[in-house]
Amino acid sequence: MTKLFETWSLEREIVLVKVLKHRREKVFAAWMDPAALAQWYGPEGLAIDSHEADIRAGGHWRFDMVGHFEGKEQRFPNLMRFLEIVPNERIVADYGTPDPEDPDRFRVTVTFDEQSDGKTVLTMRQLHPSRERRQVVMAFGAVEYGQQTLDGLAAWLES
């Protein structure tokens, strides 16, 4: 593990939480199925074009977020490298662009906490490389776009 991620700093963190009306096995399964991910993942107005999906510890998911702006298609390349997957409990990944030297890559940890009523509290924590980078992505809309992604998961689970 690199020094960048040895400590968890609140100055570098973004936390998103969503209560889902489904058991955690079903919620977790939506993250493990590449076809499902491509249907619900990402903010509103962007589609997912999945290129490679090996969703396991040591695997990766390479995809583009695709949108149309001012009549032109734009692609935003993404790469998620899975570091740890504990079934129905936790997914830990490094997230950024496919560039192996991406200085803005961040750590994401997704936890699945089942409640006694069968609902699941999904918590997605992002740890950015610096306080300044966190501020940049916050200004760009990271919280709103993250919530849209989790809303997409909720809608997909309902369908």
Buried-exposed string 11-20: b where 16+ CB fall within 10 A, e elsewhere: ebbbebebeb
SS3 81: strand
CATH architecture designation of domain 3-158: 2-Layer Sandwich (3.30)
> Against a cut of 0.85, is the pTM above it?
yes
Q: How many residues make up the chain in this entry? A: 159
Beta-carbon count within 10 A of 31 CB: 18
R_g of the chain, CA atoms, integer Å: 15
pLDDT given at position 7: 54
pLDDT for the residue numbered 98: 96
| Cβ-contact 12, 130 below 8 angstroms | yes
pLDDT given for residue 10 in this prediction: 83
- Residue of 9, 6, 3 whose CA lies nearest to 127: 9
- Mean pLDDT by 10-residue block, N- to C-terminus, for the chain (159 residues)? 55 96 98 96 96 97 96 96 98 96 96 97 97 96 96 97
Q: Is 154 exposed, middle or buried (0-12, 13-18, 19+ CB in 10 A)?
A: middle
> What are the strands, taking DSSP E only, across the chain?
13-20, 47-53, 60-69, 72-86, 90-96, 106-114, 120-127
Where helices occur in 33-141 by DSSP H, the ranges are 34-40, 131-140
- The reported pLDDT for the residue numbered 8 is 58
